[in-house]
Structure formats: C-alpha cells, structure tokens
Structure 1
Amino acid sequence: MSKKAKSKSTQKEKEVVTKEEEGPITLNKSKNIIISVLAKPGAKQNAITGINSDGVGVQINAPPSEGEANTELVKYMASVLGLRKSDVTLDRGFKSRNKVLKIQGSITLEEVRRKLLNEIQNT
C-alpha cells in the first residue's frame, strides 16, 4: 500500500471516530445546538426514553397526524430544557420518526446533556 493510500484511510478512520464521539447532541457551524431525535408518537405520556448514538428517544403523547406530534415534541423539549418554545425548532424530519431539533438560546451543550439525562432519571 502506498503512503498516500495509508494517509487517506487513516484520515477516514479519524472522521468516523469523531462522528461517533459527538453523539446525537452537537453544535452546528452557527453555534446552535442540534439534537437528533427518534420520535415515538402516540405514547401515553411524554418522556425521554434514552440517549444513544442514533439519537435521543422521545415518546410523544400526540398522534402522528397533521403535525400534532411535531408541535408536542417541540413544546415538550422546550419545557425539559427550560427554554421558550420559540428557542426550539424542528429543523428536519417533519414526516419521519427521525427528526432534528435546532436549539437557540442561552444554553450550553453540557446543560442540554445534563437536563436530558436528568429527565430520563426522573421518569
């Protein structure tokens, strides 16, 4: 294997490791917090079920029709994080269970992680 081929494969491995370490809660280029969410609409109550490399599992007490679950998800996440509803927006995944939330406002990445973990422990 040539030196160029080795350096390319090593560079790709580093990129993969970096993405896995970031997890579902990251910062974008605009310094907004981005949360990957695995939504489960139609649940009995709103709850965060877990955090893994795929996303933050969130049960939503609203049907997945006419955007009701999306609205409830934004409202619930804003209350969990102690933010206004206008600080939390659904960025992607309007018709999918895999959603991306964008968080603006005065909260840090560590505070978001801590509040989400605290919510899991309280349920």
Structure 2
Amino acid sequence: MPAWRASQDGLILSVRLTPRGGRDGLDGVEPMADGREVLKIRVRAAPSDGEANAALVAFLAKLMGLPRSRVRLVAGASARLKTVLLEGDSAVLLARLEAFLAAG
C-alpha cells in the first residue's frame, strides 16, 4: 500500500515522524513490515506539548506550498505513525510530492 492516496478532499499521507531529528526534512519512502509504505519525515521539535505535530504541519505546508490551515493531522496525534490530510487538488498535490521525492 503506497504512502499516499487521493481522497475527495485532497491527498492523504501516511507519515512516520521522527521528533528531535536534528533538522526538518523528508527522508523518502520507507516500507513497513506489514507491507505498507510511509513517508519518513524528521523535525527538530521535541515530541512534547504537540510541538512535533505542529512542526510536521508547518513543514508539510511549506513543502507543498499550502497554507497551514490546509494541512490537518487526522490520526496518530500521540503516535509515531500519523495520517495527514493535505486539502486541495489531489493530482496537483501528488505531482508536487512526487517531484520533491524524485529530486531528493
């Protein structure tokens, strides 16, 4: 199962977040033991008081050229594996994500 899927609201991402990762960045796609894939993202923020989640939202908004209000954490607020919704045209968002992954 890929790390993203289109929905009528936009693009849904499966993310494995590493807080206190030294830098903010997207480290590519990683296969999980159960066959699913996740986007590996690291942020500098600590995992306390929602700081890492806020940093994840800010990072994805900047990366995808979206306002923060269009990036929502929909599952996994206190877990390492998270589900994030990027609101907008899923085809455009997917093209941006794939271009960034190809360049990285």
TM-score w.r.t. the length of structure 2 is 0.84
Question: Aligned to 2:23, which of 31, 45, 65?
Answer: 45
CA RMSD of aligned residues (A): 1.7
- Residue 32 of structure 1 and its aligned partner are, at CA, apart by 2.3
C-alpha change, 1:69 and 1:101, in structure 2 (3 Å) is: same
Percent sequence identity over aligned pairs: 27
For this pair of structures, how many residues does the alignment match?
98
C-alpha change, 1:33 and 1:48, in structure 2 (3 Å) is: same
Query: Is 2:5–2:12's contact at 8 Å kept on the other side of the alignment?
Result: yes
- Residue 118 of structure 1 and its aligned partner are, at CA, apart by 4.8
Query: Is 1:38–1:55's contact at 8 Å kept on the other side of the alignment?
Result: yes
Gaps of 5+ in 1: 1-19
Query: Is 1:80–1:115's contact at 8 Å kept on the other side of the alignment?
Result: no
- Residue 101 of structure 1 and its aligned partner are, at CA, apart by 0.3
- Larger strand proportion, structure 1 or 2? 2
Q: Which residue of 2 aligns with 1:93?
A: 76
- Higher RCO structure (Cα 8 Å, ≥6 apart): 2
TM-score w.r.t. the length of structure 1 is 0.72
- Larger helix proportion, structure 1 or 2? 1
